[in-house]
């Protein structure tokens, strides 16, 4: 899984955990010492986080840190399935054209990596 997709998948998991915990973005931001804008950017995958922030965010939404991490698969077929699921979620969140650009960029990167 590529960096941008990892942060997108992480953000989706964080958002879902935050909502299950009954927290707003402001509530979560207050609990971890960030701005609401930072929480928005993290949830949308536009802002990376450090390891200590992973621990704080997980604690704030009441899950284990591993529960916020994207799953990794050894099977290329499973990775394609995961990409399809992520692509669908991105479509729902950001709109079709943006999601298609992200996925096509990830696939182009995969082809480039295979050539190396």
Q: pLDDT, tens digit, for every residue of 31-80?
A: 999 999 999 999 999 999 999 999 999 999 999 999 998 876 654 455 55
The pLDDT value given to residue 70? 82
What does the pLDDT read at residue 111? Answer: 45
Q: Are residues 49 and 85 in the same domain?
A: no
Whether 116 has a pLDDT exceeding 50, the answer reads: no
Question: Same domain for 7 and 55?
Answer: yes
Mean pLDDT value of segment 95-112: 53
Same domain flag for 64 and 82 = no
- Output the pLDDT for position 57: 97
Give the pLDDT confidence score for residue 5 in this predicted structure.
81
Q: Looking at residue 74, what is its pLDDT?
A: 54
Q: How far is CA 57 from CA 9, 13, 24, 90, in A?
A: 15, 11, 13, 22
Rounded average pLDDT over 72-93? 60
Q: Which residues contact 89 (CB under 8 A, 6 or more apart)?
A: 12
Instruction: Give the Cα separation of 106 and 101 in Å (integer).
Output: 9
Examine the domain organization and report whether 37 and 58 are in the same domain: yes
One domain for residues 42 and 61 = yes
């Amino acid at each position: 899984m590529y960096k941008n997709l990892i942060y997108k998948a992480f953000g989706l998991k964080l958002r879902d955990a935050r909502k299950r915990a009954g927290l707003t973005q402001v509530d979560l931001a207050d609990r971890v010492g960030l701005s609401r804008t930072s929480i928005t950017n993290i949830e949308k995958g536009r802002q990376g986080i450090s390891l200590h922030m992973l621990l704080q965010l997980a604690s704030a939404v009441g899950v284990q840190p591993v529960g916020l991490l994207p799953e990794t698969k050894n099977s290329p077929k499973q990775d394609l399935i995961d990409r399809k699921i992520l692509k669908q979620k991105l479509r729902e969140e950001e709109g079709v054209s943006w999601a298609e650009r992200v996925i096509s960029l990830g696939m182009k990167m995969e082809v480039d990596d295979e050539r190396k």
